[in-house]
Amino acid sequence: MSRSLSISTVCCAFASLFLLASVANAEKIANPAYDQWAKFKPGAFAKHEGETVAMGNANKMTMMAKLVELTDEKAVVESTTSMSGMDMPPQKMELTKMMEKVEMPKVEGQEMPKPDTREGEERLDIAGKSLKCKTIETMMKMGDINVTSKVWMSDEVPGGMVKMESKTDGAMASTTTQKLTEFSAGG
């Protein structure tokens, strides 16, 4: 159970970077995930280490994302993940320069809670460098469950993410942390 929670938590952290939609006749917009990689050269990479603790179980993770191809229309990023000593097969993701605008689906009779979001700036010393980061803090209540998260992003890092902290309380209490440990601009 905690292993699948760890994977879903990691997927949620990267979902904002790799969201692609297939909605017919949708408006095309710039893909922020492509933009985060397009300023670097092939070979650029970002390595993150993290941990998820849920229901008394701790799972350590190491994630590596590497830019393997870059054109004016797409970036191909290969990611590898190791979780608690188990290596997952490498995955390649094609990030197109333009993507279809995504509208959140609405479920009749249900209203999605709106998160309280704050943005800021902080400087973090990571991987031997002082990085200027944009921060996004999100707090959301869903019934008896509170979810809080904080993400640090920097244009100096391939893929953008520098650090992430997330906490869920209630019946599905968990904490997840992720931190950049190494990166290169490639070339």
CATH assignment of the domain containing 144: 2.40.360
Residue 170 lies in a domain: yes
Residue with the larger pLDDT of the pair 106 and 133 = 133
Q: Tell whether 127 is covered by a domain.
A: yes
Tokens representing 87? 């290596």
In a domain, 24, yes or no: no
Q: Work out the number of other CB atoms within 10 angstroms of the CB of residue 180.
A: 23
Give me the number of domains the chain comprises: 1
Query: At 30, is the pLDDT very low, low, confident or very high (cuts 50, 70, 90)?
Result: very high
| Amino acid 26: pLDDT | 63
pTM over 0.85: no
Region at 118 (left for phi over 0; alpha for psi -120 to 50; beta for the rest): beta
Residue with token string 């993410």: 161
- Domain residues for the domain of 149 are 2-19+29-98+114-184
